[in-house]
Amino acid sequence: MAWMVGLHGSLIKFILFYQSASTFGAVLDMVTDRVSTACLLALLSQCYRPGLVFLMLLGLDITSHWFQMYSSFLSGKTSHKDVKNTGNWLLKVYYEYRPFMAFCCVSCEVLYIILFLFADEKSTSLLSACRGVLKQGPLTVLVFISTLVGWAVKQVTNIIQMKTAADTCVEFDPKRSK
């Protein structure tokens, strides 16, 4: 059931990626992403030990996107994906090259679905599950490694996004008090 929520979120994301021309579409896109990711990460936190790892990933995901939305609002931008004035090259590539962003976002959810499917009651170790995936056929291993790369890039991007957006919020405070 949970993997269906993740897959549903990925499909909605794919459709809205290229169709979100309105503010409502952009917000709906982000909300469906956060909800599907939250469901998958909450479920994985119960399947593996330490589950705190998955809850920390959830916190990073929600916090970085909230900061990005809020800093965009403070800056008067029409979209949270407007990072033209950002000095970070990865953030620019992530938001300006949509196929790259789609790869990272979909990889993240597909990786979580794979981890859910390979969760074993006998072993709650994440490393054991990853070793089990790597013992599968070449196609499964290729998908797993590809999604792992996309997931890692998305996590690094989330950290950069959170830092950059927090800096924007901090810069806004002195301007507001004058």
How far is residue 147's CA from residue 137's CA, in Å, rounded to a whole number?
16
DSSP for 147-174, please give it.
HHHHHHHHHHHHHHHHHHHHHHHHHHHH
Instruction: Return the number of other C-beta atoms located less than 10 Å from residue 59's C-beta.
Output: 12
Both tokens assigned to 100: 């790259």
- Residue 96: CB partners within 8 Å, gap ≥ 6? 83
Which two structure tokens, joined as six digits, stand for 146? 């590809």
- DSSP code of 28? H
**Closest by Cα among 70, 65, 71 to 154:** 65
Cα(first)–Cα(last) distance of the chain, in Å? Answer: 52
**Could you list the active site residues?**
33
49 three-class SS? strand
